[in-house]
Structure 1
Amino acid sequence: MESEVYIDKHYSLVAECKQGSKKACYELYRLYSKAMLNVAFRIVGNIGDAEDVLQEAFLDAFKKVKDFRQETTFGLWLKQIVVHRAINLLRKRKMDLIELEGDQIENIPDEEAEDDEEILFKVEQVKEAIKLLPEGYRVVLSLYLLEGYDHEEIGQVLNISENTSRTQFLRAKRKLMEILKNRGIA
């Protein structure tokens, strides 16, 4: 019952925002800005850039709010805008992701199962280590592990192949483990 009230409140805020209510827009911003800033920060890795992404994403969202059809939640719709804005910022930085041929991928050992069992670290230490990853690795790792995108979706968002996404993810995990071991955490 409580979640229904919560959802109804958000839908009514969206409806008011569609009608031009600045107060409703501000309330939606207040409700979602912290979570969306975290999403942006995990992708771009810099708080200043994340704040810029957040502002631009909200501007886009409020301009396009009339197109929001409530087929999904406002939060998920907004998150997609934030992710796309963050990715566009990284593209402007000319993020380098190396396209690999199919036979090169087979030569990369899949340590995913072993790594998953070993990763029992404190969240803050892992977050700090993720910040140290090269940008391409951090983006793919964040989109996959933290934002829930699959490799096909990551490939579409970043304009890379699904195999490149998988490779970047495996390399990111390996590099993350190396960073954690060097810090005496693993």
Structure 2
Amino acid sequence: MELTANTVRDELVERCKQGDSLSYQLLYQRYSKAMYNTSLRIVNNTADAEDVLQEAFLDAFRSLNDFHYRSTFGAWLKKIVINKSINALRKRRGHFVEIDEEREDGVHAIAQEEPIDEADLQYRVAEVKKAIQRLPDGYRAVVSLYLLEGYDQEEIAGILHISHNTVRTQYVRAKQKLLSIIKQGGLL
């Protein structure tokens, strides 16, 4: 069954490559909701996510001849969406701050604070997603890419153009902040 779905997608992409306008529309309909949600989890702003979605599809459609089935079309498009989402965050915030774990000014100490007891917390996925939306941009990007999109820390470092140590530290801090938000009952 899965093999058939991939064949249909490939045929749809091929029809797009030949300039079939209906196929462009069908491809957009097939992927737009998932790609919008991916972007929204990273940028945490509906207008920015909508802009990212449109720009990603425009780039994908313009570069369709560069797509050679080394992955699925969806995976290829998702990479474009994630990169554009990260760029939108950078434009909004400036840039991600590199964290030097060897510093003596307390930066490393924050990551070493006593961990929050995760076993005592019972929560639902919807509550966690609401709490993730309240995280600062850098934390939210790392958590979304790691937990929701399934990228490993090395891949995230490459996507965000930051060190693996920075990804790891931001993930630890984001997790602590996320658990703190949940414990405080600060959910919407």
Aligned equivalents of 1:15, 1:113: Cα separation in 2: 51
- Paired residue secondary structure (1:102): coil
Whether contact under 8 Å (1:151, 1:166) holds in the other structure is yes
Percent identical pairs in the alignment equals: 49
* Cα distance, 1:47 vs structure 2: 1.1
Residue 79 of structure 2 aligns with which residue?
A: 80
Whether contact under 8 Å (1:95, 1:136) holds in the other structure is no
Residue 162 of structure 2 aligns with which residue?
A: 160
Q: Which runs of 5+ in 1 are unaligned?
A: none
Matched, 1:109 2:112: yes
Whether contact under 8 Å (1:40, 1:53) holds in the other structure is yes
Q: Which runs of 5+ in 2 are unaligned?
A: none
- Paired residue secondary structure (1:76): helix
Cα deviation 1:70-109 (Å, max 9, x = unaligned):
1110000000000011011111113453322233576423
Aligned equivalents of 2:115, 2:150: Cα separation in 1: 16
- Normalising by structure 2, what TM-score? 0.89
Cα deviation 1:17-69 (Å, max 9, x = unaligned):
01111111110100000100110000000111101100100000000011100
The amino acid of 2:92's aligned partner reads R
The amino acid of 2:172's aligned partner reads L
Whether contact under 8 Å (2:116, 2:179) holds in the other structure is no
Whether contact under 8 Å (2:121, 2:183) holds in the other structure is no
The amino acid of 1:42's aligned partner reads R
Query: Quick check: 103-112 or 41-50, which moved more?
Result: 103-112
Aligned equivalents of 2:177, 2:91: Cα separation in 1: 24
Query: Quick check: 31-40 or 91-100, which moved more?
Result: 91-100
The amino acid of 1:176's aligned partner reads L
Residue 12 of structure 1 aligns with which residue?
A: 11
| 1:97–1:54 distance in 2 versus 1, CA, 3 Å | same
Q: C-alpha root-mean-square deviation of aligned residues, in Å? A: 2.1
Aligned equivalents of 2:63, 2:24: Cα separation in 1: 12
Query: Quick check: 67-76 or 87-96, which moved more?
Result: 87-96
Pick aligned residue for 2:130 from 96, 116, 128: 128
* Cα distance, 1:110 vs structure 2: 8.3
- Normalising by structure 1, what TM-score? 0.90
